[in-house]
Each structure stands twice: as C-alpha cells, then as structure tokens.
Amino acid sequence: MVKPFTPEDLALFQDLGQLDVSSRGVAACVVRSVDMAQDGYVSTIWTFPLDAAPARRFTLGTSGENCPRWSPDGRTLAFVSPRDGLPQVHLIAADGGEARQLSHLRFGVGSIQWSPDGTKLLATCALPLDPDSGEAAALADEPRSPDAPEVAWRVPYKSDGTGYLLARAFHLCSIDAATGEDTPVTRGAFDVMASCWSPDSTRIAYVRTREGREAHRTDLWIANADGSEARQVTRDYASVMSPRWSPDGRWIAFAAGREEGDAQTRLHLFEVASGDARQLGDDDMEVGSPDSLQWKRDSRAVILVVATRARQHIVAVSVDDGRRRDLVTGDRHIAEVRATGGTLAYFSESATTPRELYASNLDGTGERKLSSLNAWWDDRLALVSEVRTFRVPDGRGGFENIDAWLVRAKGSEAPQPLLVEAHGGPNSFALLGFPWNTYWNALCSKGWAVVVPHAVGSTGFGRKFAERLNGHWGELDFPQFMAVVDALQADGIATDHVAIAGKSYGGYLAAWAVGHTDRFKAAIVAAPVANLESHFGTSDGGYYSQPYVLSAERHIEPERYRKLSPVNHIHHCTTPTLLLQGKDDQRCPMGQSEELFAVLMRCGKAPAELVLYPGGDHHVYETGKPSHRLDIVRRMLGWLERWCPPPDRGQTT
Amino acid sequence: MSPSPRARPIDIDTLWKLQRVGNVALAPDGSAAVCSVTRFSMDENKSSASLWLLPGDSCAPRQLTRCGDTDGKPSWSPRGDRIAFLARREQEGRKDAERQLYVIPLAGGEAERKSDFAPGIDDFKWMPDGRSIAFVSWVWPDARGARAQGQRHKAFNERKESAYVTCEPQYRHWDRNLPMGCAPHLLLLDLESGRVVDLLEGTGYELPRADPCAAHFDISPDGRRIAFVHDPSPRKVAGNVFAIAEIELARRRIKPVTDDAAWSYEAPRYSPQGVLACIASNLGKRHTMPGRVAFRRGGKWQLAQMDRDIDVEAPLRWSRDGASIFFTAQERGRCHLWRCGTESGALSIAVAGGWVHGFDVGGAPGDATLLVALDCAQHAVQVHAVRAGQASRLERFNDEVLERVALGETREVTFRGARGEPVQMILTFPPGFDARKRHPVLHVIHGGPYAAAGDTFAYRWNTHLFASRGYVVAAVNYHGSSGFGWRFADSIVGRQGRLETQDIEAATDWLAKQAWVDATRLFASGGSYGGFLVAWMNGHVAAGRYRAYVCHAGVFDRVATFSADSYSQRPKDLGAFYWENPARVRAQSPVTFAHRMQTPTLVMHGANDYRVPDTNGLAYYNTLHARGVPTRLVWFPDEHHWILKPRNSRLWYREFLEWLAAHAADRKARGRG
C-alpha cells in the first residue's frame, strides 16, 4: 500500500558513503543507519560484488566503521573503527573471518590508504599539540581536556563540527600492513589534509596547510615515502584538494581553488618531472566532488564527478586536450565514483529516488542498481521532479534563464501551495540527498510543490554566473526568486500559499526575502548568515570567504557589509518566521539567528520563534542527532501548516 | 612430536599458554572443520574464546571470529555456507546480557547477531531448511511470547531483593542456582525475522534441568518433528529416569515415544533416513547401569546387541548412510570413538584414544569423514580428520609451545587390588627419569568415583607438572572407576572408601617395592571423590605412611553434604538415606574417623562449589586444626568445584607443590613405606 512520506521516515533511511572497489570487483562502502533508541547512528561496512552476487553486511563491530579500503590484491579490506576505544586500523579478509586490529596508534587514526605494493598503509592521525607552543607545534603527551582554555594565535583556530583546532595537528604516519608498526612521516606546525602514493610506492604527495598566518591556505607537497626530502610543489592556489598520482607516475591530478574565498573548484594537473601545474578542462567545469578524482588506468584521462546545471555527473577529462566526455548523466546527483577494470561503481540519488549503489560500463552504458538499502521508499507516494527553466531579471535591466528543480507528488493537482527553497553557498547548488531534504518529501505528500531555483551565484552554470553575485547578495538573486514565484503562479502551478525556506546562505536569502516582501505566508530561516559584519569574525570561515564573495574588505567598505546584511532589513518583516539553529554552529554561529530574532521580537509584529539545538553544528539538519532532525522536520511542517495552511482546510491568513 | 634439545620440564605458566580446543564441528560436505579455541592471559587473568576455521587440505587454520571473547558452540548451516555460534558480544551499540545466536558467512564478512531473546540461548541446532534454529533456553513457563519473556526477565534482573526462593527439589547445579522460577524449554528462532516461538509453552513439558543442551533434543531430517528428553516425573530431581517425547511441529502435538519407566532414555538422534536412536540405561534396575544404544524400529525400542561392557556417552552421531552410529565410550583408561553397526550391533574402534573429547561425522556417504578432537598423556587436544582410515591433522595450535617442553614418560601398570582383582595404575615419570635414583611418589586420586584417570592431558591435576618436580605420579583407577565394566564400577556402592583405599594401598605397596621409589617420601592427593578418599585415608591408613595429603574439594561429612546439588543421587551410592540407616552412612563418612586423623593435610576448596559445598573443606581444616595436625587452607571465594581462573590455578599449583616440598624436606617426618 502506498503511504505518504512522513518526518519519521528519516529513521528508515540508510545512507551510503565512502565507496571503494577492489581489484577483484567488489565494492565496499559505509552504510549509516539511524538508531533512534540511542539517538545516534550505526555505521557498518557493506560489500557489493559488481557481478551482482548478493550484497553482504561485512562488519558488525561497534558502530563507527569508517574508511573502507581494499588492499591492492583485493584480498583484504582495511578500515578504521573505534572498536577498542580509539579509532584504529582493522583488517578483514575478503573471503571469510572477522576483523583484527592492526594499528595501535596512541591517538588513533583518521583516514588510510594502501601503498600500491600492499605493504604499508598511509594514515592521517590527529596528534595532540600544546596550543601554547604556537608555531613550535610541540606535541602534547595527552589529548587536551574539553574544559581547557582555548588560546588562539592564528586563524583558523576553530572549525564547524570539530571545534577548537590549535590543540591538535593532522599528520601522516606509515603503518606496516603485516606488523601494524607505525612510523611518523610528517611533523611540524601544519596540518596534512590529503595524500596519495606514487604508483611505485616510493613517494607520497600530500596537501598541507601553510605555517603561520596563511594557515588557511593549502599547497601540494611531494616527499619520499618516509617523509624525507619533502618539497612544496604548488604555491599559487588558495586551496588544493584530493591529489591523485597517475598510474604511469607522470602526473598528479588534484582539485583546487585559485582565489581565497572562492568556493569554485577546478581540476588541475601537476607534471612531476617538470614541476608545472595547469588547469585541466575548461574554466566552467566545476568539480562536483573532489574525492571522486581518479585516473583511468592508461593515465590518459581523469574520471571525476562534476557539477553541471544543478546535476552531478561522471565525466572523463582527457589529459591530452582537456576534452570532457560525459559518462553517467541524468537528472540526478552522482555522489561518488570508482572506476575498476571495465566498470564504474557510483552512488546515485535524486529528489525522487534515494541514494543507492549503481554500476555501469566504463562508458556509462549498461547501468544496474546494486543496492536496495532503501526499499521502504518504494511504498511511498511517488515523487516527480523536473528541471524547469525560468526567465528572470538579470539585474542589468535585461533577462536571463535560470534552472530550478520543481518537485511534486506524482499526480498532484495544480495549483498547489508552494515552498520556495533557497540553497546554500551561494556558490553551490541544491543537494539532493534525502537527509538534506526530508521535509520536501513530506511536504509533497501533503500536497505541496517545492521549487529550488538556481539563481545567479549558483555554481555549475559557468564561472561568470557564479561570480556575478559577488558583492550583490540578495540584490541580484532575490528578484530572480520572486520571478520564479510569479511564473509558477501565472502558470497555475502554485497558489498564493507560498512559503520560503533555506539553510546557511539559503537562510540568508529567506531572511533577506522576508525583510523585503510580504509575499510569503511563512518563512523558515535555518543557520543563516544574518549580519555580515559579525559573521566576518565569528564564523570559522567568515574572514576568508566574505572579502571575496562581497568583493569588499570589511574594514574598507563596512557599508556594503551593513547594506547586504538581512539583520538590517528584518524589521520590515511581517512574515511568520521560524528560526532553526544549531547551538554549536561555528560556520553560521548562533548569534546570527539571535540577532534576527531579537530584531523580530523588538521591532516587528510578525510571529517568530527561535529553536536552538544544543550540540548542533552547521549540519544538525542533515547529520545531527536523529531526535533533533526529527524535531526540525516536524517543526518545519508544523510552522508551514500553521501559517500557510493548505487551502482544503478552508483557512487563509 | 619430539621435544627439541632445549626442552624444559613443563611449568605452570607454560600450561596456561596452551590453547584449548573444543566444540569441533565438521562442514556438511566434510571438507573443513570449525572449532573453538580458548586462550588465556595470565597477566590479565582472563580467557578469550574464538572460532577457528580448519580448512584441511594442508591449508593453515584461520581465525574466523575476533569480535568477541566468548564465542563458542559453532554449528555449520545445513548448506555449509554459514556458521552459527553462541556469544555474548557488543554489536551496534548493544551489549548482550545473555548469550545470543550469531551467524557468520563463510564467504566473507563479520558475524551478525540473529537473536534478541532476553533469557538468552543455551544451546541450539539448525533446522534442516537453514532458515531457523531450535534452541534451549530457561524461560518463564507462565509468560506467553518473547515479549512477555523479555519483560519478566528485565523485571527479575532489576529486582532489589536478592533472595532465591523455590519449591523445586532441583534448584542448583554445579556452581549456580538454576534460573529462579524458570524452566528449560525448547524454542524456535526464525533467523530472518528474529521471531521466537516456544515449542513447550503451556505444555507442562521441560528439558532436563541439569545442563539442558543440544544433546537433549534432535530434529528429524525432514524438519517436521523434534524428539526431546524430559523428566516425566512431576518431581524433577537429579537421577530421575528420563523419557523421550516427539513434537510434531506443524500441529504442535507432543506424543511420548518411550514407554518403559524402568529405563532412562537420553540423547535422541535421528538417522538421515529418519530412524530414531538414543542412549538407554536401565536405571530402574540400578543407578549405575551403563548407557546402551537403542533404535526405534516399528514403534519399538531395540537395544543394539553390543559385545563390549561399555558405557555409551552422548552424543550419538549417525553415518550418512545410516549403517553406523558413532559415540565415545571409555575403556581401560582410554576414551575411544566407537562405531556400532546399526543392524549387526558390531562394535569397532573408529578412532582410538588417548582420549576423544569431541567428534563429528560428515561427508558424502561414500566418502565419510570423521572429525575428532583428542589428546593423550603426551599432548594437548589435537584435531584430526579421518577419511578412509587415513588421519590428517588439521591444526598445530600448541606445537610450538609443546616443542619447548619435555614431558616425562607415562606407563600403565596393573596390580592386584581389592578383592584380588586387577587394578590399573597410570604412572607419570619425571622428564629424564633415572631409574637408579629413588623418587618420591605422589598419588593423584581421581574424582567421580565413576570416572577414570587415563591417557589424557589435563589442565587441572596435570600429572606432568607434578612429575616435573621429581615425583613419580601414580593415578590409580580404583574400584568404582569407569571404563572397566559395570561390575567394577558398581562394586563400591554402599561401602564407599573401603575397596578404593585397599586399591591405593596395594598400589603404594607395589610402588614401595620399586628400586626407583623413595618409600619414605609418599604423598597422596585428590579432588572431589579423590578428596573424599584422602580424607578417608587420613582416618584409616596408619599415620606416617604418607608424609602429607592434599585434599581438594573433598567430601568430609556425608550428612552435611546433603546440601549438595546432587543430594538426591548420593543416597543411591551410599545405599541409604542418613535418617534411615545412620550407621551405614556414618561408616562411609570421613568425619566419623576424625579422631584418628594425624597426617598433615593441605585443604583447598572453592566457595561456589555446589557439588561438594565448601563446608566440607572448612570443617576438615577446622578439625585438623583443633586436633593439632599441621594443616593449611586455600579457599577461593570465586571458584567452584574446579579452579579455573589462571591466577587462582597458578596459586593452587604453587600451594600444592610447596606443601609437598615442605613435607618432603621435613626430616622428622620419616615415612614408613
């Protein structure tokens, strides 16, 4: 029997991540399910033979399995698990038997990678530092107490989700795959963010932060496998990600952002012999997932997930001419990919289908679904989504076309109440994972339509389109949002029951909207950027991104910061507004919501509520405690039904 | 296996380094085996049991489970693609309070918890379709359904009162009280859904209360019926005569399949062709009667016409073709795997002991494979596969440790004992034994009494460990011992102590005549019934004959020992209830002869011993103290009839050896050989 989607469905959802495929053609990934009883999650590793032999839950230890990595011969799966307290490397045979602990690192292990010869694992480890040692980066004997003072002598000193940064450093160590013996590879006043092996296992490439006041920048380094003869090989990028050494040893592919604060990421190539680095592919090709980068076996192309017009696709980019060949496409998001032999394995999800594991031939043909972890979805009221194009003002007196997802229940009757969703970023695009959008599904089942415009500033539509919003937050994109609403009402798709919701930059836009129009019957503002001046100093990345995205330094053009801050317009608000905020959000800290709320309470008459989630970070909505997530979705639905009730109840505000 | 030149006598820590192999099970096609291996840490005073796969074909064994330290009772799924086992683990943030069922696929991946039944799972067998298991659990007989069981279990565990209240005549076993208010039932677990159905709910039937296990039931090959053992008497008490009933699963109807109330029927086993076999003993005639194989044919039970006076032990296992049935039984200090022709009753030794501790039968009918776990005096348990008469060893768990150990020789001696009958004695010599030197002698007297010293490698009472200190260790299979026929075992009933002591004394006489024995340095030790015997000897053997005794968990006072879990059995051994014939019972009780006790004795006892409650040891120690006889008490608050924790075991051995050494060195205490 077909049932409506409900907020409680979030407990049924099983999420897949951290895909790896063995040389023997077996995919491994982490499956994360919700444990409502413990108000947490259970992560186990599953295996899926690509030849469609039965899927198998492979590990069942405690609950926090992570980072599955097949040994090069495909006989052993390494993974990280806190089975005995600290996260350590464990090995499990591909053909039977339970895992044994390999590493015994004093402070545990983050992520791991096999050397191509299978003798070692390169591990990223968090080592405790004495924060008072500053640039000297003296190692501490013990991890710091959570109550210890947090001294800062540089930015960044905190990070959303992690908290205080200066009492630990990420470094590489090498773990012998036979004995588990570990030896340090890097040491110093920097963090290693990513790494890879050379194909002959003699060298490593890694991405590390700079020392001192430029610690927010990252560069590519190369060293011998033992860490000796380390040398910096890139200098001109603000951020480098996901280095991948080509099988022939000639290249290192990586993703990078050129300018500080620019969230757009491009594919680059470093030639090991010459030391030259260059961009690969055209400037409009947005890397959708840096982690997805990998080489084709012949070293002549890089396969990766790109973000393109609100979708994420798998493409191959030729090293010779930078030409891009689409492999796996469609109105959907590909989240990760692994190319092995003649097969691509990847996660696919869309607004209408849950994330599952798929496989196809290398050219994208012969697609087949390998996992059915979310079969419950099939019993729900089906969704349909489409990418609709809207003609909207371009802010220069003319018009341009933008794309938007329009999601509805199958067979719903227009016109419908409409939720306008503003995506985060703004240099990003709408993510389609169910944990992000649980309320879309529930709303659609209740007869709503959801529209997600990709207004100016969105990435995946060319560099210029993204950059045009710089310095014009709200000013350029808000009118485009309103044009989308106008069009949907004119087309008879939406009633005048229209609400707006958004998280992060989406929260900015929703707050901006209700300060500038009365058209919305209700608004939901989650984890917003509200006051650009205070956000600059209190967000973990405010000082870094804002000068770029506002095209203005705070101390030189404070007026622009003020003018573009929703908090300075919210006193005009007449729209019932629900504010949802993680109390430990360091990206868009609690104060942003509090400032909006105080103005709404003191200067406006519109109903408003502020809900704080203790311990919640910037991603409490997607990855927070299940009880918080459930509360968020229920409150959102409740707020919309209260202030924007469906017409069939005969109520209007 | 020959010891290397650097080999040294075995010591206590080395003994505890040995890995103990148990629970052997053969894959249905006979191609591989699984077993449990328990390892001990002397430092942490802990044990850890995990499952190992023994692939055979000269492939090295592979550790199958690592995520728990109580993994045991492995059992292959009917198709051989999975192994189910019992464990208490932490999985997905939940810690098992009781043992639950886990299933590990052979093709890869970790074991998954398949049951969440609050009272836990004590033992199980796969149903033939591989989709469910039948299992044994102590349940609340008046609670209906798994949910209600869970609630009752939780409420009971969370109660603040600690008292044990019962009207049952059988309420404790070995080292623990039986679950209060519960009865052992047979249940079904659906592996896919986790759903549990109690097959005996509301029927009044229950499995035997002493260690209910998988040997108490069997599933017909078509999966339609389960035969199970039960005590038909309304008053469930140890020693009762058991019956077998069959439950028809589809209609949940139970009908008895045994009808002779004089016989006890146990260990039912269906042949692949559906013939039911069991072990039947004529307990109505005499409580010492041996177990015999019986077959149910045409609705009647027929005893296999076996030509040997052996006592068949559970479990029974059929060959694939139903032509043979296998079991273990003792004979003269050895425990063999026997094959019995199901038509002819012809008996043969399929695998000779040493001592067979576990076995399995599998493989195709034409290619039958036997799996045995056996040890002997010279090595710890090894696992062998026997195919077409050819044995191949499947593991080398202890070879490395044992190669560094020099074990002395063992020798079997037969002498004339009580009633002029031949009695067997097994001697363990010190490594590097020099027959030109005189050695002190230590009697290690086995318990039981219906048990035997034999060609086996013990962890408690390891004779090599005693011999390593220079003693010649004598283990006498006195009258009453098992493996020497029914008459021999039965001979001591109603006069316990008398023939046994005559046997041991005759052994001592024999030993004293040997040139390599120092007849002035004789010692005797024993546990349980062996402890009874040394306490008895202290009141009956002339003082000075033995320099000192070691009495572990020995029966001292027959009347006080009516507090034991086995109180209902003992009057049969003694030939009387103490209130009916007090003199007869007193005559078999060491306490009666306390006034004659003069020999120094080390008394050891565990407080959780419900078989021989520790009041025996304490009373013995107090008595010797009061009489001014040198004595020493080693009392373990957290051990039962056996001392099983590594540190306590080490202390036990040390105290034992130091006690002997102190009295061996005492020149004043000159013995008289």
Q: Considering its fold, how many domains does chain A have in total?
A: 1
Whether residue A74 lies within 8 A of chain B, CB to CB, comes out as no
Whether residue A100 lies within 8 A of chain B, CB to CB, comes out as yes
Whether residue A603 lies within 8 A of chain B, CB to CB, comes out as no
* Residue of chain A minimizing CA distance to B62: A97
Whether residue B112 lies within 8 A of chain A, CB to CB, comes out as yes
Per residue in B42-68, pLDDT tens?
A: 999 999 999 999 997 778 999 999 988
Answer yes or no: is A331 within a domain: no
Whether residue B420 lies within 8 A of chain A, CB to CB, comes out as no
CA nearest neighbour of B35 among B21, B46, B18, B47? B21
Q: Residue A317 and residue A294: Cα distance in Å, rounded?
A: 10
Within 8 A of A35 by CB-CB distance, chain B residues are: 92-93
Count of CB atoms within 10 A of residue A455's CB? 27
Query: If you average pLDDT over every residue of chain B, what do you get?
Result: 95
Q: Looking at residue B343, what is its pLDDT?
A: 87
Per residue in B261-314, pLDDT tens?
A: 999 999 999 999 999 999 999 999 999 999 999 999 998 999 998 889 999 999
> How distant is the Cα of B187 from the closest Cα of chain A, in angstroms?
26
CA nearest neighbour of B539 among B590, B490, B587? B590
DSSP B502-533: HHHHHHHHHHHTSTTEEEEEEEEEEETHHHHH
Lowest mean pLDDT among A330-334, A340-344, B440-444, B625-629: A340-344
Stretch A535-555: mean pLDDT: 91
Q: Looking at residue B583, what is its pLDDT?
A: 97
Q: Do B93 and A98 touch (CB under 8 A)?
A: no
Q: Looking at residue B61, what is its pLDDT?
A: 94
SS3 call for A549: helix
Per residue in B196-254, pLDDT tens?
A: 999 999 999 999 999 999 999 999 999 999 999 999 999 999 899 999 999 999 999 99
* Residue of chain B minimizing CA distance to A58: B109
Q: Residue A578 and residue B327: Cα distance in Å, rounded?
A: 75
| Nearest CB to B64 within list A56, A94, A97 | A97
Answer yes or no: is A498 within a domain: yes
- Does the pLDDT at position A393 exceed 90? yes
- Does the pLDDT at position B192 exceed 80? yes
Within 8 A of B53 by CB-CB distance, chain A residues are: 96-97
Q: Looking at residue B388, what is its pLDDT?
A: 83
Q: Residue B172 and residue B169: Cα distance in Å, rounded?
A: 9
Q: Do B108 and A58 touch (CB under 8 A)?
A: yes
> How distant is the Cα of A59 from the closest Cα of chain B, in angstroms?
5
Whether residue A149 lies within 8 A of chain B, CB to CB, comes out as no
Q: Are A241 and A194 in contact (CB under 8 A)?
A: yes
Whether residue B90 lies within 8 A of chain A, CB to CB, comes out as yes
Whether residue B92 lies within 8 A of chain A, CB to CB, comes out as yes
Number of H helices, E strands in chain A: 10, 38
Within 8 A of B62 by CB-CB distance, chain A residues are: 93, 96-97
Q: Do B67 and A60 touch (CB under 8 A)?
A: yes
Q: Residue B188 and residue B135: Cα distance in Å, rounded?
A: 6
Q: Residue B567 and residue B585: Cα distance in Å, rounded?
A: 13
Q: What does each C-alpha distance from B35 to B198, B299, B307, B337, B381 come to in angstroms?
A: 29, 37, 33, 18, 12
Q: Looking at residue B68, what is its pLDDT?
A: 87
Q: Do A62 and B93 touch (CB under 8 A)?
A: yes
SS3 call for B328: strand
B392 residue type, one letter = S
* Residue of chain A minimizing CA distance to B112: A60
Q: Would you give the distance in Å from CA B615 to the centre of its chain?
A: 24
- Looking at residue A587, which CATH number applies to its domain? 3.40.50.1820
Within 8 A of A94 by CB-CB distance, chain B residues are: 108
Count of CB atoms within 10 A of residue B617's CB? 27
Q: Which of A60, A63, A65, A84 to mutate to test the interface with B (most CBs of B within 10 A)?
A: A60
Positive or negative CA dihedral for A224, A229, A234, A240? positive
> How distant is the Cα of A159 from the closest Cα of chain B, in angstroms?
28
Whether residue A96 lies within 8 A of chain B, CB to CB, comes out as yes
Answer yes or no: is A536 within a domain: yes
- Does the pLDDT at position B661 exceed 80? yes
Give the pLDDT band of residue A84 (cuts 50, 70, 90).
confident
Whether residue B105 lies within 8 A of chain A, CB to CB, comes out as yes
Lowest mean pLDDT among A479-488, B40-49, B338-347, B515-524: B338-347
Within 8 A of A99 by CB-CB distance, chain B residues are: 66-67, 110
Pairing relationship of beta strands B123-126 and B82-87 according to DSSP bridges: unpaired
**Which residues contact residue B184 at a Cβ distance below 8 angstroms, ignoring those fewer than 6 apart?**
B122, B136, B137, B138, B139, B206, B207, B208, B209, B212
Per residue in A116-155, pLDDT tens?
A: 999 999 999 999 999 998 888 899 888 888 899 999 999 9
Helix, strand, coil shares of chain A, percent, nearest 5, are: 20, 40, 45
Q: Residue B383 and residue B395: Cα distance in Å, rounded?
A: 6
Q: Residue B399 and residue B3: Cα distance in Å, rounded?
A: 10
DSSP B533-587: HHHHHHHHSPTTSSSEEEEES----TTGGGGSTTTTTHHHHHTS-TTT-HHHHHT
Q: Give me B594's structure tokens.
A: 């306390």
- Does the pLDDT at position B482 exceed 70? yes
Per residue in A517-526, pLDDT tens?
A: 999 999 999 9
Q: Residue B267 and residue B277: Cα distance in Å, rounded?
A: 8
Query: If you average pLDDT over every residue of chain A, what do you get?
Result: 95
Q: Which of B62, B85, B92 to mutate to test the interface with A (most CBs of A within 10 A)?
A: B92
Whether residue B383 lies within 8 A of chain A, CB to CB, comes out as no
> How distant is the Cα of A93 from the closest Cα of chain B, in angstroms?
7
Q: Do B108 and A62 touch (CB under 8 A)?
A: no
Q: Give me A204's structure tokens.
A: 């490593």
Q: Residue B245 and residue B226: Cα distance in Å, rounded?
A: 8
* Residue of chain A minimizing CA distance to B53: A97
Q: Looking at residue B1, what is its pLDDT?
A: 47
* Residue of chain A minimizing CA distance to B34: A97
Three-point CA angle A223, A70, A256, nearest 5°: 45
- Does the pLDDT at position B672 exceed 70? no
Q: Are A543 and A532 in contact (CB under 8 A)?
A: no
Q: Residue A94 and residue A48: Cα distance in Å, rounded?
A: 12
Answer yes or no: is A266 within a domain: no
Q: What does each C-alpha distance from B644 to B12, B461, B616, B640, B653 come to in angstroms?
A: 13, 12, 20, 8, 12
The pTM score is: 0.89
Whether residue A44 lies within 8 A of chain B, CB to CB, comes out as yes
* Residue of chain B minimizing CA distance to A41: B92
Q: Residue A110 and residue A169: Cα distance in Å, rounded?
A: 12
Whether residue A51 lies within 8 A of chain B, CB to CB, comes out as no
Stretch B404-408: mean pLDDT: 95
- Does the pLDDT at position A448 exceed 50? yes
Q: Residue B1 and residue A652: Cα distance in Å, rounded?
A: 92
CA nearest neighbour of B414 among B491, B486, B477? B477
Q: Are B88 and B100 in contact (CB under 8 A)?
A: yes
Answer yes or no: is A504 within a domain: yes
Give the pLDDT band of residue B673 (cuts 50, 70, 90).
very low
Give the pLDDT band of residue B2 (cuts 50, 70, 90).
low
List the domain range (segments joined by +) for residue A598.
380-648
Q: Residue B300 and residue B594: Cα distance in Å, rounded?
A: 53
- Does the pLDDT at position B4 exceed 70? no
Stretch A563-591: mean pLDDT: 97
SS3 call for B262: coil
| Nearest CB to A57 within list B53, B107, B109 | B109
| Nearest CB to A60 within list B62, B108, B111 | B111
Stretch B457-469: mean pLDDT: 97
| Nearest CB to B93 within list A35, A95, A98 | A35
Answer yes or no: is A555 within a domain: yes
B537 residue type, one letter = M
B245: which strand partners? B228, B256
> How distant is the Cα of B4 from the closest Cα of chain A, in angstroms?
28
* Residue of chain B minimizing CA distance to A65: B92
Q: Looking at residue A649, what is its pLDDT?
A: 43
Q: Looking at residue B594, what is its pLDDT?
A: 98
Q: Residue B670 and residue B673: Cα distance in Å, rounded?
A: 9
Q: Do B106 and A96 touch (CB under 8 A)?
A: yes
Lowest mean pLDDT among A50-64, A357-371, A454-468: A50-64
Answer yes or no: is A447 within a domain: yes
Within 8 A of B108 by CB-CB distance, chain A residues are: 47, 56, 58, 93-97
Answer yes or no: is A561 within a domain: yes
Whether residue B109 lies within 8 A of chain A, CB to CB, comes out as yes
Q: Residue A618 and residue A612: Cα distance in Å, rounded?
A: 12
Per residue in A353-392, pLDDT tens?
A: 999 999 999 999 999 999 999 999 999 999 999 999 999 9
Positive or negative CA dihedral for B639, B642, B648, B652? positive
Query: How many percent of chain B have pLDDT more than 90?
Result: 91
For residues B70, B76, B77, B82, the Cα torsion angle rounded to the nearest 10 degrees is 70
**Residue for token digits 């050989």?**
B673
Q: Are A317 and A306 in contact (CB under 8 A)?
A: no
Q: Are B331 and B454 in contact (CB under 8 A)?
A: no
Q: Do B109 and A63 touch (CB under 8 A)?
A: no
B238 residue type, one letter = A
SS3 call for A412: coil
Stretch A633-648: mean pLDDT: 90
Per residue in B548-602, pLDDT tens?
A: 999 999 999 999 999 999 999 999 999 999 999 999 999 999 999 999 999 999 9
Whether residue A169 lies within 8 A of chain B, CB to CB, comes out as no
Q: Looking at residue B264, what is its pLDDT?
A: 97
* Residue of chain B minimizing CA distance to A76: B108
Look up residue B210 and give its DSSP letter: S
Per residue in A428-445, pLDDT tens?
A: 999 999 999 999 999 999
Per residue in A18-47, pLDDT tens?
A: 999 999 999 999 999 999 999 999 999 999
Three-point CA angle A158, A159, A161, nearest 5°: 130
Q: Looking at residue B667, what is its pLDDT?
A: 63
